[in-house]
Structures are given as structure tokens and as C-alpha cells.
């Protein structure tokens, strides 16, 4: 049994944390060996199964990430940027594969992952689903095929608890569109128009965020030209797609050379 990788889930009580715990527990390719929550959380010291309102799973929620990581071969982390940076250093120390689903990281925070990636495998993606990663590839292709007569707009929708905008996925799609066009996203990005903005600038890539209810994640990439429109769309209806992708990444990373990877590597797209 020991060849089956042991996995730690951080942010255990979160929407994704709970989905990940269920996905790993249900899998016969991985073992749940630890779950981490932030200090002071009322799940600390409890059996995670009971904390989730079900049967005991024999794993106690801890606020000591290093102790948990030392028992594991991979850490799956969907938390918050500052927490993810701390976990990256500790996962590297424990030589664990660190799968990062956390979004909203600044460029500085992403750059700060580099030292950890010299010692361990990091797989980071703003969206871990197969469908979205395919959509990213399609977006790049369509943007490369069309000229600037086609205005590109990325429209995303998420539940009302989401704290960052545009979503990590919207940014992935925007990056793909910019890459397809051979431009830098930072030079053409136009976010959340409001007021007398003036006419749309040719070549810009626009972003719009809808927040409401329990929307899991919806993304449209619109290519609009005089007389015609193309819309590439992904609708997520179940968080399990992200958890399945994250587990796949944790298993894929075993035995890989230290470095930073994304889901395009994992899925071989
Ligand atoms: P959530 O708020 O429900 O959960 C976040 C959890 O992290 C909470 O339980 C919180 O207590 C915990 N946490 C925060 N700081 C911590 C720390 N220092 N130590 C341990 N735990 C800590 O949020 P969510 O909806 O589960 O999303 C979490 C993140 O994952 C967000 O950044 C979200 O955008 C991202 N996300 C990514 C994907 C993807 O496929 N990449 C998919 C869905 C969500």
C-alpha cells in the first residue's frame, strides 16, 4: 500500500477543501494522510469526517502544516495567496508535490514561488478542469486565426463569496488570447468599464465579472466583429471537476523533476 501517494489537503473546511477531501478519500490511487486548517479554526483537533458531518475518517485536522506534509507525497492547496506562499516553502522542505489551485496571487507572489520550485514540483493552474484547459488552447488558436477586427472580451460569472476578480480562469483565457495575437496581456487588458470610458480601443482584451448566488464558474470568450460573433463557452456545474484535476496533478507530479508546471503539462494538451 505504501506506493500509493499520501495526500494532504489544506483549507480543509473550504468549499474546495471539502470537495478535495471527498475526492481523495474516494480514490483508490491516493491516501488522505493529513488535513490542515488555519490556527484558531474550530475544526482543529477534530476528525475531519466528523467535522464534515459524516463518519470518522481517521484523520485529525491540524494547524501544523509541516508536521502534516512530512507524512505526505503531495499537498493539494486551494486556500489564499499568503497561505499558499507559506505552504510552498514547507512543501519544498518536505519534498512534496505542491498542487496550487489558489487564485488571486500577485506577480510578486507568483515570483516568490521560484525558490520552492528549485527543490520540489509545483503544479499551479487558475483552473484545474480538463474542459477549461481545452478552452484555453482553443482560445489561443482562434485568437491567432483572427485579426483585430475581432474584439475579444472575457466574461466570467462566479458565486457571491468569491473574493478576487477577474477570476484566475478569466486571466488564463486572456493570456491565451494575447499569446495567440502575439501581444502582452498587460499592454491590452481593459478591466471592468464604468462611466464615460470613450470608445473601445482596437486590440484591447476586455474583462467582466458577474457575481451571484451559487454559480460554480462560467466563462465566455467573445470574438466580436462587424456582422458576426464567435463565443467559446465553458460552464462548470460541479466543483468535483477541479478536485479531480488537482488529484490528477498530484499523481502526475510524482517522480517529476523539480520545477513549475501547469495543467497543460499534466493533461498533455
Ligand atoms: P473558501 O473560502 O471556501 O476556502 C478557503 C479555505 O482556506 C478556508 O477553509 C480557509 O480557512 C482556508 N485557509 C485560509 N488561510 C489558511 C491558512 N493559512 N492555513 C490553512 N487554511 C487556510 O474558498 P474556495 O471556494 O474553496 O476557494 C479557495 C481558492 O481556490 C480560491 O483562491 C479560489 O479562487 C480557488 N479555486 C481554484 C480553482 C482551480 O481550479 N484552480 C477552482 C475553484 C476555486
Write out pLDDT tens, residues 175-220. 999 999 999 999 999 998 999 999 999 999 999 999 999 999 999 9
The CB of 80 under 6 Å from ligand 1? The reply is yes
The mean pLDDT of 96-125, rounded to a whole number, is 97
34 alpha carbon to ligand 1 midpoint, in Å? 16
The pLDDT, as a whole number, for residue 3 is: 84
| CB proximity list for 255: less than 8 A, separation 6 or greater | none
Q: At what angle do helices 240-252 and 15-26 cross, to 10 degrees?
A: 60
Q: Has residue 22 got a pLDDT over 90?
A: yes
The pLDDT, as a whole number, for residue 269 is: 85
For the beta sheet containing 259-261, the strands, ordered from the edge strand earlier in sequence to the opposite edge, are 61-62, 31-36, 6-10, 74-77, 97-100, 121-124, 259-261
102 alpha carbon to ligand 1 midpoint, in Å? 6
Q: Which atom of ligand 1 is nearest to the CA of 86?
A: 18
Give percent above pLDDT 90 in the chain.
Answer: 98
The mean pLDDT of 24-37, rounded to a whole number, is 97
pLDDT classification of 2: cutoffs 50, 70, 90: low
What would the pLDDT profile of 121-174 be if each residue is shown by its tens digit? Answer: 999 999 999 999 999 999 999 999 999 999 999 999 999 999 999 999 999 999
146 alpha carbon to ligand 1 midpoint, in Å? 37
Active site residues: 158, 162
The mean pLDDT of 253-258, rounded to a whole number, is 98
Sign of the alpha-carbon dihedral angle for 147, 194, 162, 73: positive
The mean pLDDT of 238-263, rounded to a whole number, is 97
The pLDDT, as a whole number, for residue 1 is: 46
- Alpha-carbon span 242 to 249, nearest angstrom: 11
Q: Which atom of ligand 1 is nearest to the CA of 126?
A: 41
Average pLDDT, the chain: 97
The mean pLDDT of 40-68, rounded to a whole number, is 97
Give percent above pLDDT 70 in the chain.
Answer: 99
The CB of 127 under 6 Å from ligand 1? The reply is yes
Amino acid at each position: 500500500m505504501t506506493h500509493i501517494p499520501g495526500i494532504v489537503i489544506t483549507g480543509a473546511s473550504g468549499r474546495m477543501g471539502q470537495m478535495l477531501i471527498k475526492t481523495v478519500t474516494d480514490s483508490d490511487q491516493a491516501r488522505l494522510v493529513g488535513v490542515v486548517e488555519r490556527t484558531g479554526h474550530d475544526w482543529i483537533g477534530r476528525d475531519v469526517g466528523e467535522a464534515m458531518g459524516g463518519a470518522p475518517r481517521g484523520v485529525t485536522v491540524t494547524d501544523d502544516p509541516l508536521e502534516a506534509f512530512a507524512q505526505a507525497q503531495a499537498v493539494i492547496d486551494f486556500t489564499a495567496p499568503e497561505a499558499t506562499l507559506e505552504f510552498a516553502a514547507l512543501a519544498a522542505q518536505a519534498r512534496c508535490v505542491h498542487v496550487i489551485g489558489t487564485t488571486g496571487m500577485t506577480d510578486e507572489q507568483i515570483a516568490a514561488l521560484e525558490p520552492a520550485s528549485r527543490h520540489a514540483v509545483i503544479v499551479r493552474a487558475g483552473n484545474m478542469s480538463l474542459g477549461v484547459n481545452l478552452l484555453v488552447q482553443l482560445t489561443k488558436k482562434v485568437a491567432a486565426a483572427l485579426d483585430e477586427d475581432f474584439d475579444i472580451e472575457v466574461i466570467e460569472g462566479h458565486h457571491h463569496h468569491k473574493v478576487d476578480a477577474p477570476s484566475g480562469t478569466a486571466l488564463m483565457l486572456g493570456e491565451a488570447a494575447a499569446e495567440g495575437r502575439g501581444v502582452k496581456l498587460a499592454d491590452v487588458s481593459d478591466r471592468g468599464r464604468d462611466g464615460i470610458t470613450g470608445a473601445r480601443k482596437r486590440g484591447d482584451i476586455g474583462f467582466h465579472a458577474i457575481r451571484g448566488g451559487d454559480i460554480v464558474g462560467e466563462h465566455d470568450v467573445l470574438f466580436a466583429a462587424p456582422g458576426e460573433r464567435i463565443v467559446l463557452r465553458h460552464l462548470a456545474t460541479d466543483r468535483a471537476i477541479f478536485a479531480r484535476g488537482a488529484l490528477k496533478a498530484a499523481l502526475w507530479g510524482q517522480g517529476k523533476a523539480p520545477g513549475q508546471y501547469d495543467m497543460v503539462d499534466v493533461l498533455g494538451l
